[in-house]
Structure 1
Amino acid sequence: MRVIVPLVLSILLCSGDGASASRMRLQEFSTRRYNIHSDLSLTEVRQFGRHMDAVFDEFARRFKAFAPRHEKSMPLYLFADRETYVQFMGDAGVDASNTGGMFFVQPKLRGLATWVRGRPQSQSFAVLQHEGFHQFAHQYIGPTLPIWANEGLAQYFEDGIFLRGRLLLGHRHDRRVTGVRQAIQDQRTIPFTDMLAMTDRAWSRQVTSTEGGAAVMYDQAWSMVYYLIRTSKKRAKAFARYLEVLSDGKQGLDAFREVFGDNVRAFERGWTKFAMSTQPDMLNTAVVRMEFLGQGLKLLRERDYRMPRTLEQLQKVLRDSKFWVDVYGHNNVTRFSAQDSVNFGFSLPGGRFQQFRLIKSPEPDLPPRITAQGLNPVPTVVWSRDGEGKLVQQIAYR
């Protein structure tokens, strides 16, 4: 038994006439921050609209020094299924077949686009948070934002979680932390002087020309941004100033030297020391594994299997079925397998390993919930059904 989950995030500049928008019958909804074009029900659109308004509020709060350079409305194309999303983008002259969502710019059409059904809701939110930053940066910070900062910040926001109406940031994804550390050990990281001066075209060329290069570049970009934002108030203030200098028109390496000084190599040594000592975020790691198990429960329900009542029962049926999930990232694939015991639990503060718990859902036709008691906040996989009656899993925090 297998499930393949595409999660490829991209920013695309392209040409086209925008005809796809007029050929599809999409309803238009307005929120405080977005104009949403969608084939979803009003109830579903409202949920995503509220989420994206809150995400935008966090963008605006953190980047309050910047004013919009284009129209103030933020177009969002939100599709029910992947096939309609790919068709819409194809009609606009964009090959979106290997993407999970994108921010795109054309002469007559621009916007943020993705689909929602057939994958965990938290993955759709992550895509929108990532691509939504690209859209915000394009309209507010401007075209001089270097690709490493654009992608690094997008991943920083992608990893955010909502708790009591606020987007909590600063989480450290296991895959990113481990990937950066391994790249440093293998001497495969990009020198800072090259990274700071890299153009969009050079980035794309290097991403596609080097085996495993995409993962290294995206992971390093995230780590550099994390280092600048989270390790000291002085450094975070300087990074904010760097973005302002860029917005005023100065180019990447020159802007960096103006704010941080000429000794880029010393700065790189500081980052390397930080990256080698950084540990993954226990919460983020647990949630990724919970989503994997949720995919397994969803498939069992869809195939009319008897629902397991305990984690041990779930582990047995998934292992007997040889269940696995492939999650596609930036030119790399991460496989989660039921044969790996680590995917059925998480680490507590102090390092002790603990298994997830299954909890009976309030509605009898829904799979059991999955929770990770002992973490703060406590994440739980909860279930609902979309407008077509299909199962939707999402992560709730308390």
Structure 2
Amino acid sequence: MPIFKPNLETTMTRRIIILATALCLPALSACNEQTKRPPAAAKFSTPAGLIEYLSPLPAVQKVEPWQNDYAQGITITTAHYTIHTTLMDPLMLRQVPGFMESAYRAYQSQLPEPIDTKIKFRTYLFADRAQWEQFTKGFAAPHANLYLKIVKGAYCLKGRCVAYNIGRTRTFAVLGHEGWHQFNSRHFVYRLPSWLDEGIATLFETSRYYQGGFEFLPGRNGGRLGSLKTALLADRMIPLTTLITLNPGQVVESPNAVKAYYAQSYALVRFLREADYGKRLVNYHNLLLAGLRGNWPLDPAIRQLASDRNIPLT
């Protein structure tokens, strides 16, 4: 019977295998133990964990449980906002308080002088559309069906901003947009013409995290710029004299017209603020300040239409 005599190469190979096994076994054991433990992030995906996680943030005044009919939730209080949410994403929620307060400062920058908000704005941010729809059916009744037609986004009604999670970037875009409507409906004596109101709201759709807060970048709003380019190339631009008399409800049946309406409103507001090195900015500020104070030179019937937000725009 032949006897196997390992050569030098075989011996070295065995030693390498034994050494590698000895080194890997502790690591494999540790990995196995690690998979058995719940990840640390799971702790912060509960109301109690989120309260602990979010409370130390500079923009946060307090965090507490939110009892509601839709899901487990929390209420985040900041200097100017009360935010009710069922979203349990700690990384996204960590940025929401700072985003809302940055948006508030950006809204103030539309005016030549700051105004004081004594009562906090109330915002609802739901984890998904099903919860959002359930809330809307009660909150927006008897007109809930109008709001349920919103495909992806949010709305502002009765001084409340109501949104649901559609991804971080788009969720922040709709919060910034609807937050402007919420801000001016609270403070302005006159409601703004739709082109002006919607045009300003689009300025807060694009932002970036910067030095602990958020910076708004209307020049990088690719969605509105793209829609403007499409309308120009397709020769579907709305005449200016028509644009300033429209409201979004009058174009809602045509997706292309809706996109053109918002894009042109965005462009018109940026023109008033930025064109020719901002030479119209003072007039722009004065226009808004007069709307804030109720000083527009309007006939009595138009004044009532401008000041009573319960009267439908025509």
**Which TM-score band applies after superposition, normalised by the shorter structure?**
0.5 to 0.7
Classify 1:144/1:150 alpha carbon distance in 2 versus 1 (closer, same or farther; 3 Å).
same
Classify 1:38/1:173 alpha carbon distance in 2 versus 1 (closer, same or farther; 3 Å).
closer
8 Å contact from structure 1 (residues 101, 114) kept in 2: yes
- Out of 215, 219, 231, the position equivalent to 1:183 is 231
Please state how far the C-alpha of 1:54 moved relative to its aligned partner: 1.7
Greater relative contact order (CA < 8 Å, ≥ 6 in sequence): 1
Alignment of 1:1-398 (within 5 A): 23-24=69-70, 26-41=73-88, 43=90, 45-63=93-111, 65=113, 67=115, 72-92=119-139, 93=141, 94-95=144-145, 96=148, 98-106=150-158, 110-116=159-165, 119-164=166-211, 165-198=213-246, 200=247, 203-208=248-253, 210=254, 212-231=256-275, 232-249=277-294
Please state how far the C-alpha of 1:32 moved relative to its aligned partner: 1.2
Classify 1:183/1:100 alpha carbon distance in 2 versus 1 (closer, same or farther; 3 Å).
closer
1:233 aligned partner, one-letter code: G
Corresponding residue for residue 300 of structure 1: none
1:145 aligned partner, one-letter code: L
* Alpha-carbon separation, structure 2, partners of 1:98 and 1:211: 12
SS of the residue 1:75 aligns to: strand
Where structure 2 has 5 or more consecutive residues not aligned to the other structure, the ranges are 1-66, 300-314
Bigger helix fraction: 2
Please state how far the C-alpha of 1:23 moved relative to its aligned partner: 4.3
Please state how far the C-alpha of 1:56 moved relative to its aligned partner: 1.1
Q: Deviations 1:66-112 (Å, cap 9, x if unpaired)? A: 6368x621001111222111111122222435343323324xxx411
* Alpha-carbon separation, structure 1, partners of 2:238 and 2:257: 10
1:228 aligned partner, one-letter code: L
Per the normalisation by structure 1, the TM-score is 0.50
Q: Deviations 1:286-315 (Å, cap 9, x if unpaired)? A: xxxxxxxxxxxxxxxxxxxxxxxxxxxxxx
Please state how far the C-alpha of 1:185 moved relative to its aligned partner: 5.0
8 Å contact from structure 1 (residues 144, 249) kept in 2: no
* Alpha-carbon separation, structure 1, partners of 2:278 and 2:296: 24
Bigger strand fraction: 1
1:51 aligned partner, one-letter code: F
8 Å contact from structure 1 (residues 40, 80) kept in 2: yes
Classify 1:128/1:211 alpha carbon distance in 2 versus 1 (closer, same or farther; 3 Å).
closer
Corresponding residue for residue 304 of structure 2: none
8 Å contact from structure 2 (residues 204, 217) kept in 1: yes
* Alpha-carbon separation, structure 1, partners of 2:255 and 2:214: 38
| Number of equivalenced pairs | 224
